[in-house]
Amino acid sequence: MIFPVDWLQVGDQKVQIDAVVYFLWSIWNGWIMATVGAFGGIMAGFGHISVLGLGAKASSLKGIKATVNGKEVDSGKYLSDNIRLSNSLITSVNSTMGTIQWFLNKRLIWTAGLAMGIGSVLGAQAGVWLTGGKLNMSSVIGIFGCLTLLVSIFMFYQVTPFAAKAKSKGKDAAKRFQEEVKKLKAEGRLNELKGIENLKLSLAAVEFDFFGEHFKVKNFGPFLFGIIVGFVSAVAGVGGGFLYVPFLSIVLGLPFYIVPGASVMAVTLGMLSTIVGWLVFGIKIAPPILIGMAGILIGAYIGPKTQKYLPMNFLYILFGVLAIYVGVGYIMKGFFAIALPGV
């Protein structure tokens, strides 16, 4: 290790991580989440489980009894729950910073994010209390792998003709947005770039205009979807952006350049609910999480500023390939005890 620090102590067992690796990984993690509105929770989990080695440590502690807060626990399962809490803490900072950035960039559909977020608050509590103290590390890794494979399917779907056809109105608005970015950049007036306009709110739906297209989003559907995502996110220790983004872009047909804002807002609310649930359940926060949070803030600040310059199909393919490898690797490792290189 370059700079070892104590992560957590469970009974007599001390767990350490490399602080430098954690900081650098968190910058990368923050950039991903803020750029595409998804994959940040997956990268947080991969970082804690594989990059920092906490998954292997949790597996080695399986069956070893320890006393935490006056209660006897299985050390391995306790560390597994701590990893899920840590993923939620990192992702919450990531998504909060992203939400602020998207708001400042005038591309936050906050009503859609709020509807999904309220639903996720309820789902997250169910996930914590139904699975807390019950999942060993191999189960968490296997479930995590299955969800990561879903991410890869979403990423690759985005570059197919079917995706383009399914969201033609959103695609047209996104194309005009890109053209405006190029024009204003060439003229040195990028600060004049417009965002969401003519916002109209009601209890049932939200309406707005974005670069020549009119959109209407009902609130009830996102709320129900948020309950499902909140539960899944708490169980696997992920943010849920990989489910929110396809829902917003494919099902609702919104242009990609405004989707991440609503996604990260919903993730923020769900993660805060998950964190409260784990703390009440009795899981301690690892102090070095502050190192990860610092890295996340840097990456999340950069993300929205760079997204408008990047070809999104390239990002989809890049993250899709990563998601396939991580997903397959975790499924093999969690369910079949077969380890792939680097996973």
- The predicted structure's pLDDT at residue 112: 84
Average pLDDT over the chain, rounded to whole?
84
Q: What is the pLDDT of residue 284?
A: 92
Both tokens of 56, joined, read 């292997």
* Residue 161: CB atoms within 10 Å: 7
What's the pLDDT at 23? 97
SS3 9: strand
pLDDT over 80 (residue 278): yes
Could you read off the pLDDT of 210-269 as tens digits, one per residue? 887 888 888 888 999 999 999 988 888 777 877 888 788 778 888 877 888 888 899 899
| Whole-number pLDDT of residue 6 | 95
**Phi (first) and psi of residue 71, to 5 degrees:** -120, 135
pTM of the prediction?
A: 0.80
- What lies within 8 Å, CB to CB, of 53 at 6+ separation is 17
Q: What is the rounded CA–CA span in Å between residue 322 and residue 292?
A: 21
- Six-digit token string for 311: 């070809």
Residue 304 contacts by C-beta under 8 Å, 6 or more apart in sequence?
34, 35, 98, 101, 102, 105, 260
State the pLDDT confidence band at 163, using cuts at 50, 70 and 90.
low
Q: Are the C-beta atoms of residues 205 and 216 closer than 8 Å to each other? A: yes
pLDDT in tens, 117-150: 999 999 999 999 998 888 888 888 888 888 888 8
- Provide DSSP, 105-131: TT---HHHHHHHHHHHHHHHHHHHHHH
